[in-house]
Chains A and B, each alone.
Chain A
Amino acid sequence: MELTVNGTGMNVTATDDTPLLWALRDHLGLTGTKFGCGMALCGACTVHIDGEPARACVTPISAVAGKKIVTIEGVSATQQGKALQEAWIQMNVPQCGYCQSGQIMSAAALLAVNAKPDDSDIDGAMSGNICRCGTYPRIRAAIKRAAGQLEKKP
């Protein structure tokens, strides 16, 4: 099956029911997308499918053929992704860092549709992503910082 990941066509030899998560990780070697629960409960596997945030652990590859998949490895090509990654680094957001790919992907999808999210917008977009280390206050602050940086740009 051919998948378009981060702008590149890639061939995957796996059964149709294989979740995109395992196709990315085991077959394509794109390990930035993380396994956390397998039931769309924790958000560690968040990717963008045609621009929409999706949980790769419950998305079979048969459902994404012909669609544009963006992962953490490719999200810096978007201005939101790049601004968020910079804010994450500047504010020392991560602790262990494992959930942060998914956090950044959820945040990038938020900023793509809402350039200036308030606290309740952030609550709504980010509460599907669990961080066990407890970096939430810094995630919230970094999203606001990235939004501010994007606003300054022409």
Chain B
Amino acid sequence: MSPPLPFPAESPRLDRRQFLETLGGLVLVASAAGIVKAEDARKYGADAMPHGVSDDPLTFISIGEDGIVTVVVHRSEMGQGVRTGLPLIIADELEADWSKVRVKQAPADEAKFGNQNTDGSRSVRHFVDPMRRCGAAARTMLEAAAAATWKVPVQSVRAVNHEVIHTESGRKLGYGALARAAAQLPVPPRESLKLKQPSQFRYIGKDGTPMLDGPDIAHGRAQYGIDVRVEGMLYAVIARSPVFGGKVARFDPAEALKIPGVVKVIEIPGTPIPSEFQPLNGVAVVAQDTWTAIKARQALKIEWNDGVHGSYDSTAYRAELEQAVRKPGTVAREVGDVDAAMAKAARKVQAEYYLPHIAHATMEPPNATARIVNGHCEVWAPTQAPQGTREDVAKRLGLPFEKVTVHVTLLGGGFGRKSKHDFAIEAALLSQQMGGRPVKVTWTREDDLHHDFFHTVSVEGLHAGLDAQGKPTAWLHRSAAPTIISTFAPDPKHEAPFELGMGVVNVPFQIPNMRMENPPAAAHTRIGWFRSVSNVPHAFAVQSFVAELAAASGRDHRDYLLDLIGPARRIDPGALQDSWNHDESPQRYPFDTGRLRRVIEIATREAGWGRKLPKGSGLGLAAHYSFVSYTAAVVEVQVGAQGEIVIPRVDIAFDCGPQVYPDRIRSQLEGAAIMGMSLAMLGEITFKKGRVEQDNFHAYPVTRLSEAPRDIRVHLVPTSDWSMPLGGVGEPGLPPIAPALCNAIFAATAKRIRRLPIGNQLASA
């Protein structure tokens, strides 16, 4: 997810931009204001992102005289494999020998590299074509250089595995020998490039490419943000306002300053809400090492003014959201007449689903290092948003953009947390206060859990009217959750189109009467995107509810779900009132129900859907479309006599279109299964008096090895059709896991879980 534009969200129906027609390749759109001129037509995909893409081979590729190819990676590595995935695309078109490929991380500079904002499952989806063109252009230049050296027509030479060969004579020249001459040649025009046929790929779509960072990680040499060491560096930790929007009333640093090794105590000013990615008000201790800073922070005496959110209580707030979904809300999509159909229904079913706040809890907590030399600020940060970090540091320090450099380190996990670079601004402010001396800010785990940009909390109210055969004739979904927009705009009360487009409105069920509503909900803490964002609560509710309807009708869940989806067809997302569609073109990326059906069929077949299981065991299914990819999961669960849950196996079928790096696609889905299990079973952040109640992993547990599924089977839907656009990978695996698990628990025990986390709810059964 990128920082969403703080567009008004009061009325999604009015703000919706809807497709009318396509004329001469120009898309005309309608808005509340009427027809918008074609030149204002909305852009999609990479073109919709700030600074778009670059495909300049001289920016991304350098070749040494020793033949070593160095590929610049401009997206942040947080475990998704992008530092290997993008280079392998280039290496393939370049005909490079993988053993001679190295990687270099780009600093923040979107004008040069194209968009660097690493979220929304976009890196490979948006950069596969530019990276292919880069590789092909460099290959063409090497071939031209060889042809010129031999004074033969360029058509008579070809690049094969790090050499250019003159076919007739058998002469060969290695890339190292050609590099200097090739770099002097003009970059061939884009339209002249000859890309490989997919059948010629060496690395793309193939197994067996090891991660470039693997050896460094295994030997403890990999450099994360927290590992940065700069000559003369000091170490800081910060006591931040325990309540969002709270302020330091007064503080006494005297005891802290008495501790040997403490250098300075500095107040960091806050920013009024909505504070975007600015630091919270706090008091920093700067010391000679991290431990001294941590100890001295405990010795600070601080009085806080809690401000408007000092009474935030998550238990009371849950009741407030429940009340909200019991009343009508803003209509986001309406088909037919739901009220009339409900009145006529043979049977009505309703349920409410709750997902609490959750924290990202990246294993590397937020941290950053900064120094200022001669008016130039250098920042080292594990950031998902390099350019945003650079812009915000420059603004906050009052420096021109050019006077800030952001070095992007490896990220020890991101999941959306490190898209919000408050930690980098803190480091820059502290360095400024220390006369430019390098300062590293480290967040402790307690800081991380107390001051996250939390995943929203939600109540989803679902109602269906069924006919005598159990087929739904009416569907009403009320979704209430504080919006991410609250981080950017003053006190919005409604989910934005991009949130409702994550599984509230874009439900492809063939039900004649449907209404999706969004009752109001205010934010009382920092809300931010967490891996898969609003898809998580929405898929939990919708996919659980369908299983409830199947059970109420005495039907097999898979068959019931496939019937609801109906036949294979390609739906314009606009027809589902989804104006967002993950910012992708509705023509290139329609909602393809055939693909959704196929992943359901594959996951259930591979999992042995319908197989006989012992008492207390069950299979559960869920499927979801997100980040323009299709995922279905079948979870097998065993529930013990005391309600203890064991998950022996998970089958995930996944269709993201053409696959670049299958091993990292599988690893993302394996990880999503485990993270999904964490949030389903354990994850919950609660607030009392505005303060987070969880301090560390004992109170905010995450799934451990002994609890994780032993057997996660990933079934990738193969395609050789490279005319199909790519889907996202990092996020779409997560949303179906929690509902599939809860559906499996129902199959095993007849107990329906509607509130996450599951915790000990089964123990009381």
Q: Are A96 and B218 in contact (CB under 8 A)?
A: no
A-facing residues in B406-446 (Cβ within 8 Å): 410-415, 442, 444-445
Query: Hey, which chain B residues are within 8 Å of A80, CB to CB?
Result: none
Given A31-B227, A92-B214, A76 and B219 touching (CB < 8 A)?
Answer: yes
CA distance A71 to B219 in the complex (A): 10
B663 at the interface (CB under 8 A from A): yes
Q: Are A96 and B705 in contact (CB under 8 A)?
A: no
Q: Are A137 and B675 in contact (CB under 8 A)?
A: no
Query: Hey, which chain A residues are within 8 Å of B667, CB to CB?
Result: 92, 95, 135, 138
Give 1 or 0 for each of A99-119: 1 = CB within 8 Å of chain B CB: 111001000000000000001
A-facing residues in B707-724 (Cβ within 8 Å): 707-712
Q: Are B671 and A135 in contact (CB under 8 A)?
A: yes
Q: Are A22 and B214 in contact (CB under 8 A)?
A: no
CA distance A98 to B289 in the complex (A): 21
Give 1 or 0 for each of A36-54: 1 = CB within 8 Å of chain B CB: 1111011010000000000
Closest Cβ neighbor of B672 among chain A residues: A134
Query: Hey, which chain A residues are within 8 Å of B671, CB to CB?
Result: 95, 133-135
A25 at the interface (CB under 8 A from B): yes
Q: Are A98 and B364 in contact (CB under 8 A)?
A: yes
Query: Hey, which chain A residues are within 8 Å of B707, CB to CB?
Result: 127
B413's partner among A31, A32, A76, A132 (CB-CB below 8 A) is: A132
Q: Are A14 and B211 in contact (CB under 8 A)?
A: no
Q: Are B363 and A131 in contact (CB under 8 A)?
A: yes
Q: Are B445 and A36 in contact (CB under 8 A)?
A: yes
Query: Hey, which chain B residues are within 8 Å of A124, CB to CB?
Result: 706
Q: Are B412 and A98 in contact (CB under 8 A)?
A: yes
Q: Are B78 and A96 in contact (CB under 8 A)?
A: yes
Q: Are B290 and A22 in contact (CB under 8 A)?
A: yes
A96–chain B nearest beta-carbon distance, Å: 3
Given A19-B291, A41-B698, A138-B670, A35 and B442 touching (CB < 8 A)?
Answer: yes
Closest Cβ neighbor of A97 among chain B residues: B217
Query: Hey, which chain B residues are within 8 Å of A92, CB to CB?
Result: 210-211, 214, 663-664, 667
Closest Cβ neighbor of A103 among chain B residues: B705
B229's partner among A29, A100, A101 (CB-CB below 8 A) is: A29
Given A41-B698, A85-B219, A92-B214, A132 and B362 touching (CB < 8 A)?
Answer: yes
Given A35-B226, A35-B365, A137-B710, A130 and B235 touching (CB < 8 A)?
Answer: no
B552 at the interface (CB under 8 A from A): no
CA distance A136 to B289 in the complex (A): 33
Query: Hey, which chain B residues are within 8 Å of A32, CB to CB?
Result: 219-221
B226–chain A nearest beta-carbon distance, Å: 6
How many residues of B sit at the interface, in one of the four size bands? 35 or more
A134–chain B nearest beta-carbon distance, Å: 3
Query: Hey, which chain B residues are within 8 Å of A123, CB to CB?
Result: 705-706
Closest Cβ neighbor of A104 among chain B residues: B218
* Main SS class of interface, B: loop
B276–chain A nearest beta-carbon distance, Å: 25
Report the interface size for chain A: residues with CB under 8 A from the other chain.
Answer: 61
Given A127-B704, A136-B674, A25 and B290 touching (CB < 8 A)?
Answer: yes
Q: Are A134 and B673 in contact (CB under 8 A)?
A: yes
CA distance A99 to B705 in the complex (A): 13
B79 at the interface (CB under 8 A from A): yes
Closest Cβ neighbor of B226 among chain A residues: A35
B693 at the interface (CB under 8 A from A): no
B260 at the interface (CB under 8 A from A): yes
Q: Are B226 and A122 in contact (CB under 8 A)?
A: no
CA distance A31 to B79 in the complex (A): 19
Query: Hey, which chain B residues are within 8 Å of A34, CB to CB?
Result: 224, 226, 363-364, 412
B697 at the interface (CB under 8 A from A): yes
B698's partner among A15, A39, A97 (CB-CB below 8 A) is: A39
B80 at the interface (CB under 8 A from A): yes
Q: Are A42 and B703 in contact (CB under 8 A)?
A: no
A-facing residues in B320-334 (Cβ within 8 Å): none
Closest Cβ neighbor of A128 among chain B residues: B704
Give 1 or 0 for each of B261-296: 1 = CB within 8 Å of chain A CB: 100000000000000000000000000011110100
Query: Hey, which chain A residues are within 8 Å of B497, CB to CB?
Result: none
Closest Cβ neighbor of B214 among chain A residues: A89
Closest Cβ neighbor of A129 among chain B residues: B705
CA distance A85 to B260 in the complex (A): 40
Most central of A15, A32, A132 by chain B CB within 10 Å:
A132
B705's partner among A39, A88, A97, A139 (CB-CB below 8 A) is: A139
Q: Are B705 and A140 in contact (CB under 8 A)?
A: yes
Closest Cβ neighbor of B677 among chain A residues: A134
Q: Are B413 and A96 in contact (CB under 8 A)?
A: yes
B115–chain A nearest beta-carbon distance, Å: 21
B81's partner among A26, A35, A95 (CB-CB below 8 A) is: A95
B702 at the interface (CB under 8 A from A): yes
B-facing residues in A64-82 (Cβ within 8 Å): 71-73, 76
B213 at the interface (CB under 8 A from A): yes
CA distance A19 to B710 in the complex (A): 35
B554 at the interface (CB under 8 A from A): no
Give 1 or 0 for each of B671-693: 1 = CB within 8 Å of chain A CB: 11111000000000000000000
Q: Which 8 A-B pairs have the closest CB atoms?
A: A32-B220, A98-B412, A134-B674, A96-B79, A95-B79, A72-B220, A134-B671, A97-B217
What are 25 of the A-B contact pairs (CB < 8 Å)? A14-B291, A15-B261, A18-B289, A32-B220, A36-B365, A39-B696, A42-B363, A88-B214, A92-B214, A94-B79, A94-B214, A95-B80, A96-B414, A98-B413, A99-B412, A122-B705, A127-B707, A130-B363, A133-B671, A133-B675, A134-B673, A134-B675, A134-B703, A137-B710, A139-B705
B residues within 8 Å of A by Cβ?
77-81, 210-211, 213-215, 217-224, 226-227, 229, 235, 260-261, 289-292, 294, 361-365, 410-415, 442, 444-445, 663-664, 667-668, 670-675, 696-698, 702-712
